Amino acid sequence: MIRVPKPRAALGIDVGLSGIRAAVLDDGGRLLGSARRPLQARLSAGRAEQDPSAWLAAVLDAGREAAQGHPVDAVAVCALGPAPLLVDASLDPLTPALLFSLDRRAEPEPLAVTHDHALPKLLWWRAHEPALWRRAAWGLDATGFLVARLTGVPVQDTITRVDWEHAREPVPLRLPEPAEPFAVAGGLLEEPARALGLRAGTPVAVGTYDTYADVLATGVRAPGDACVLLGSTLVVCSAVAEPVECHGLETSAYLGEGVLLGGWTASAGSSLEWFARELGAPGDVSSLEPGAGGLLALPYLAGERTPIWDPDARGVVVGLTLETRRDELYRALVDGIALSARDHLERLRTVGAAPDCWRARGGGVHDEAWLGATCDALGAPLDVVAHAGEAVGPAMLAHRATGTDVSLAVARHVVPDPERATRFDELYVSYRELYPATVSLVHRLGSRH
């Protein structure tokens, strides 16, 4: 009798700005189970924070639902960041997690780092919360905190560490020794194992930022590969062999060969969610032409990271008339996000890193208007990978941590519409002019709030 090897399965958990996603993926790339839980970020007056205890409760709840009935051999958590927090010797949180560039309370200019960097936030705590600072045993990021609570081992991966280090200012707090994202941090402790319905001792990977797990899931593994992620934020990146200077974009390590060149915005899907929440759900705008109603928008509703690096940027819409319809306004926001992707592409093009085809994933691929606009604005095909929008990236990382390399099939091939692509070519010229033309006014208005 021939014995067929039993498929291995891994649980991946993604902690994002608006919610938790959990997924169980087997070693053949099949999605066995999934679950979601919402999260709330506290956003007000330059503050942006989340409750780490709420993260943990939602991680355990969603993980248990996704894993129910499936034999899980490994676990990985990947989370948004940088999102630093302080914990005590028992790994209990002393502070909320401060959310990357969305949190503005610590001004980074004297250190010559961006608002994404963790160090200004640590220095702010030291200055403004001295009692909590004295109780702190560790500084952890979101992923490291959650892995620590699952395993009892404080961790920080090598990619996250870059956003905590500074050449001239040492980190004034104890940090874990940096470890590779694919390393095993430890085994599940009894209590979280029971909460997840898994075996105590199940290996848990060190993990990293959720963005890099999503990039892994697209299949970007080597120089020449490129992807676009349509999520709460927009990510546009291309793998290159060596670091290269490219105005407005960044290079970083990732979970493949070479380095990743590209960027990530402050908001994308979150801007569309804002529209639906405050102005009502739009109709199907995929039939509307780019620039419908003569509108053009800058989608900087939460400031902006790449490619303009302006935390004081704001959303701008030009072309409004008494005839403007709500769906046209929503279409302008969709087009603005797509034009932001185009802005990243044009910068990649200057260093020869523009691909002929993009891999795509994220919840936004299920929005036909957003997916189509992105494809048309980039002027190149998109290969949408299987299980887009599910937390399969962290599950793939968990598989790699225990010796199995899983890849996903392409579920859909999208090609640009020539006429709409030409229209985006025209809109892009005006898009690049709009920010310089309005930035002084936007900054002046914003300084009053």
Higher per-residue confidence, 267 vs 114: 267
Q: Of 390, 370, 386, whose CA–CA distance to 378 is shortest? A: 370
Question: Is there a single domain that holds both residue 109 and residue 177?
Answer: yes
Q: Of 296, 189, 212, whose CA–CA distance to 260 is shortest? A: 212
For residue 447, pLDDT over 80 is answered with no
Q: For the full predicted model, state whether its pTM sits above 0.75.
A: yes
Domain boundary among 151, 179, 208: 208
Q: How confident is the model at residue 3 (pLDDT cuts 50, 70, 90)?
A: very low
For residue 1, pLDDT over 60 is answered with no
Residue 405 lies in a domain: no
Residue 56 lies in a domain: yes
The separation between CA 387 and the C-alpha centre of its own chain, rounded to angstroms, equals: 17
What single letter denotes the amino acid at residue 141? Answer: D
Q: How confident is the model at residue 43 (pLDDT cuts 50, 70, 90)?
A: confident
Question: Is there a single domain that holds both residue 326 and residue 192?
Answer: no
CB 232 within 8 A of CB 16: yes
Q: Which two tokens stand for residue 59?
A: 């991680």
Q: Of 99, 79, 98, whose CA–CA distance to 16 is shortest? A: 79
Q: Of 29, 35, 8, 13, whose CA–CA distance to 411 is shortest? A: 29
Question: Is there a single domain that holds both residue 133 and residue 58?
Answer: yes
- Domain tally for the chain? 2
Distances from the Cα of 126 to the Cα of 132, 134, 188, 357, 432, angstroms: 8, 8, 32, 47, 40
For residue 253, pLDDT over 60 is answered with yes
Task: Give the three-class secondary structure for 250.
Answer: strand
Query: Which helix (H) or strand (E) element contains residue 336?
Result: helix 326-349
Q: Which two tokens stand for residue 300?
A: 């900087």
Residue 216 lies in a domain: no
What single letter denotes the amino acid at residue 138? Answer: W
Structure confidence at residue 7 (pLDDT): 65
Residue 442 lies in a domain: yes
CB 327 within 8 A of CB 289: no
The separation between CA 43 and the C-alpha centre of its own chain, rounded to angstroms, equals: 18
Question: Is there a single domain that holds both residue 166 and residue 229?
Answer: no
Which domain does 355 fall in, by range? 221-385+417-446
